[in-house]
Amino acid sequence: MASLLTPRYNRLLYPHHTSKTIGKSLPETRANHASRAHGLGERRCSSPLQGEGRGTAGEGAPMEAASEFAQLQLRFVDQFQWRYELIRPLVLFEERPSTQQAITQRAHDTATHPETVRKFTRRFEQQGLLGLLPEAVEIVPKGTAPRVPPEVIEEIGRLKALYDGFQYQELVRIVFCKLGYRMTDKTAKKLWQQSPPAPQGALPLGDYHSHPDRYEARLEVIKLYSQGWNKLSISHFLHVSRPTVDRWIRRFEDEHFAGLVGRPRGPQAPRKVWFPVMVAIYHLQKAHPDAGEFRIWSLLANDDISVRTVGRVMALNRQVYDDIPLPHGAKGPKKPAQPHPYKAQSPHEFWFIDGRKMDFAFDGVKWWSVIILDGYSRTMLAGAIAPTEASWVTLMVLYTACLRYGAPQHLISDSGGAFTSNEVKAVLKRLAITPKPLVSTQGESYKNLLETHFNIQRRLYDYQFAHTTTPAELEQVHQTFMATYNTTAHQGLLKEGFAPPVPMQVLGEAKGRIYSPDELARKFSQALFPRTTNQYGCVTLHSYHFYVEAGLPKTQVLLWVYGEQLRAVLDHVVLAEYHCRYDWRDHKVKDLQDGVFYPTRFASPQGSLIPLNPQEALVLYRPKPMMRQVQLPFPAQQLWLFELVHTA
């Protein structure tokens, strides 16, 4: 409204305001009034409405102000302009709230009733420009027009009912191809999420494989592709493979609609291999069983067929004719898998024992890993590391397994001396365990399950074994391997349907024939003697007092006697070794001497001041004292050896 007033008009009515104040307030007023007048309807009016309280000009009023206001009224096109111009000097240049004198002066200048000026001034201060509107005008906020056509929204809903795997860029492409409407992928995402869920729809002809005519099914693929569907969506929606979709689109691009017509399957070239040719190749195979496909092709002297075709005919002849000799060194047809001869039906039915020589050495000696495996649960029950595969190692591992889980019914091993010695057989007989030695030279090694389980050890822990520097470290890593194997999944148990396929969980709490520790020691009596060390780590056996390990005071150890060696063992670790002689008549150890001591994890952290060697190892022999003769209370008369007989 201020733009309709000329500078001359403002200067004539308000000479006391400076040009600086007017210039500063005018732009702000324009911006403020323009923002408030946005959206108001236009209503043409040549003069103010009746009833607004117009009065006559008072006496003494400046004629110039009245003349200017009268001239402006001729240019008004709306009543709203007249009301704003009526109060404009009061709301722009006078102090707020307007004084009664200013209102009276403005009413006098415009020939208007002072109450009318006061009313419009008050309404403007409370409501802004909206307060100047007539009471009969209803203010209706202008709503935002829909930016997306309803056809697009309907199409998005239809697509959502058909298939819910569309990509947003794909929806943009489909809508543009079908409706010619462009939108962004963000708009498509918003419309897709706002679209209500619709029941599953379907195309008129169903999926690809339900079409009665293959041509129509292939044409449906082309239609969807032309409408903007991508190949993956077509594949999932029509239940057809992606290569099939690619093939029909490619054939349509190359041959148009003719490429969608079905074609006969199979080779289109004339057949070159007939029964007489196959018979000729068969006779050549019988005459030259070691010849390959190229040599047979050259002997056939038929350029109409290729070398590869001859090879396929040869393979077919071997399946049809049994009298074709096998090539030299060729294996016959693979036999079907047979059940394992020692397939266990319950825990501790079959135990398997075997040893494996490690691929590294300590001081030039390669150590052995001896393990016992349960055939049902594939659990490694006990194991030990030793410098040799000897019978005492076998008995030590067997004793530990029987002490933990009881005795099994059968023990499967190879025919090595460590498993078939007289000492081992005697212990197995006392434990009522049936030995079943295998003959490796007759191809029976596969029957021992540990043959394949040692491959697990080789692949899983040989790297860690190779980094050990002492036998104690090797034994500790060996025990870690067995614990890791027993608590992780086993492929054989998985194939057999165990859940979870973990050896220790499959074994559970199952036990074999349980023996008490004392009874088990008697079963191993000819080779095993449990003893408890004193406070200095020494033990006594058959009147011999000797040193074992100072780091194990008051601890029970096992003394194994085998041949001319006595070994003190704890948890499969050899602590000390002595040379001895075992008297089988008295069942006692004699001539104990020459002790050898190994560094183990049980060694005392303090260590010894002077390490012992075999020459300095002291063995004390303390024979039992003889029983003293009881003193008789009276002297006994010694009898004669021969009675004296008096003769006449």
What's the token pair of residue 267? 């080779």
Judged by average pLDDT, the poorest of 53-57, 214-218, 510-514, 562-566 is 53-57
Q: Which amino acid is at 404?
A: R
- Per-residue pLDDT at 336: 76
Mean pLDDT of the chain: 78
- Per-residue pLDDT at 147: 78
- Per-residue pLDDT at 22: 35
Mean pLDDT of 142-161: 80
pLDDT digits (tens, 9 = 90+) for 53-82: 343 434 444 566 667 777 787 788 888 888
- Per-residue pLDDT at 327: 83
- List all residues 6 or more positions away from 269 whose beta carbon is below 8 Å from its beta carbon: none
Q: What pLDDT band is residue 132 in, cutting at 50, 70 and 90?
A: confident
Q: How far apart are CA 580 and CA 561, in angstroms?
A: 8
CATH code for the part of the protein at 350-507: 3.30.420.10
Q: What pLDDT band is residue 100 in, cutting at 50, 70 and 90?
A: confident
Judged by average pLDDT, the poorest of 245-254, 281-290, 556-565 is 556-565
DSSP code string of 417-485 = HHHHSHHHHHHHHHTT-EEEEE-GGGT-GGGSTHHHHHHHHHHHHHHHHHT--SHHHHHHHHHHHHHHH
First-last CA distance in the chain: 188
- Per-residue pLDDT at 5: 40
Contact criterion met (CB below 8 Å) for 443 and 380: no
With pLDDT > 70 as the criterion, what percentage of the chain qualifies? 76
- Per-residue pLDDT at 571: 77
At 357 the three-state DSSP class reads strand
Q: What pLDDT band is residue 37 in, cutting at 50, 70 and 90?
A: very low
- List all residues 6 or more positions away from 313 whose beta carbon is below 8 Å from its beta carbon: 273, 277, 278, 281
- Whether 216 shows a pLDDT value over 60: the answer reads yes
Alpha carbon distances (Å) from 47 to 33, 54, 61: 22, 11, 22
- Per-residue pLDDT at 435: 93
Q: Is the entire prediction scored with pTM above 0.75?
A: no
What's the token pair of residue 25? 């307030």
Selection from 489-498, 540-549, 631-640 with the highest mean pLDDT: 489-498
pLDDT digits (tens, 9 = 90+) for 335-382: 777 788 899 999 999 999 999 998 888 878 888 999 999 999 999 999
Q: What pLDDT band is residue 47 in, cutting at 50, 70 and 90?
A: very low
Contact criterion met (CB below 8 Å) for 365 and 387: yes
DSSP code string of 317-347 = HHHH-S-SPPPTT---PPPPP---TT--SST
Mean pLDDT of 145-169: 85
HSE on the CB side for 367, CA within 13 Å? 22
In this structure, the chain runs to a length of 648
- Per-residue pLDDT at 44: 35
pLDDT digits (tens, 9 = 90+) for 563-611: 677 888 887 778 888 888 777 667 678 888 888 887 787 777 665 555 5
